Amino acid sequence: MVTFHHHNMNKKYKVFDVRCIGASHLKSGKPCQDYAASYSTDKYSMIVVCDGHGGDRYIRSDIGAKLAAEVCVDAVKSLFGGRSSRKNRPSVKFLQQGNDVSLLKQLASYIIFKWRDAIETDWRNRPFAEEETVSLSDKDRKRLSDENGWVSAYGTTLLAVVMTRDYWFGLHIGDGKCVSVSPSGEYSQPIPWDPKCFLNVTTSLCDEKALENFRFFFQKGELPKTVFIASDGVDDTFGSDQALHGFYKSVIELFEQKPFEEAKTELETYLPKLSAQGSQDDISIAGIMNYKF
């Protein structure tokens, strides 16, 4: 009997995520409000970056970001039949037929629902303590005690990319950028930008109409060679897309020249310097890379 071996995707794609606390947070004693995750199987690879909001009233945005990343990884695992075969979860078959946007909307609403659930559990288990709210203005303190006001304490962006053998997709709420590099070396930003995000304003998972603020990207056929996603701590450091793409070019060169883990460590070690010289903000970067490692 002949057995067919599927080529293992991991040999082709590698994923990584790195993050660091921002220079300004080191000074102010704030926690790192970014969170990043990456995950890979022989069916798909995924990366996710969440950037908890920095404003004073987002007192648990670091936890909001971590829970959002974890919920997103779980949602994608269940999309590909990971653990729960829940009736209401979106199905991969849909994606293969190309009903992309409606499915990605389902995935986003599932993530919002699960995230709300996770932050509510956290909030019920640990009601806001005096030391968390002591430095807030009366207005902000009142806002947190309103009926659903507590939700905003956990506010965060979410940017995720999933790559399979046949297609890839992204979903995004808030700021930060996704940069993809085609096999021929063309740089692009496939997920549409949100005009509602400018300066310190961003859309958020904690928005009442979060689902309406998600943007999606889906493509079958030619897959990129590399995809990077990062929090806006990176974009703000480089200012222009040209400079940002130049930075990613040097990251690719680093991974081409050194063993994977070594390159990853070197990038991670460099991030605090990048933050200090640039945006002063927390920085997270995750990537899916296709090289002959």
Per residue in 31-90, pLDDT tens? Answer: 999 999 999 999 999 999 999 999 889 999 999 999 999 999 999 998 888 555 555 555
What is the Cα–Cα distance from 31 to 70, expressed in whole angstroms?
18
What residues pair up with 220 in beta bridges, in sequence order? 167
Mean pLDDT of 114-140: 95
- What are the structure tokens assigned to 34, written together? 């970014």
Q: What is the CATH number of domain 10-290?
A: 3.60.40.10
**Residue 229 DSSP label:** E
Q: What is the pTM of this model?
A: 0.91
Domain boundaries, the chain: 10-290
Cα 121 → chain centroid: 22
* C-alpha span between 232 and 279 (Å, rounded): 9
The dihedrals phi and psi of 87, each to the nearest 5 degrees, come to: -65, -35
Roughly how many angstroms between the first and final C-alpha of the chain, as a whole number?
33
Query: What type of residue is 139?
Result: K
Q: Which residue has the tokens 């300004």?
A: 24
**CB contact at 8 A, 281 and 231:** yes
Q: pLDDT by residue (tens digit) across 141-184?
A: 999 988 889 999 999 999 999 999 889 999 999 999 999 999 99
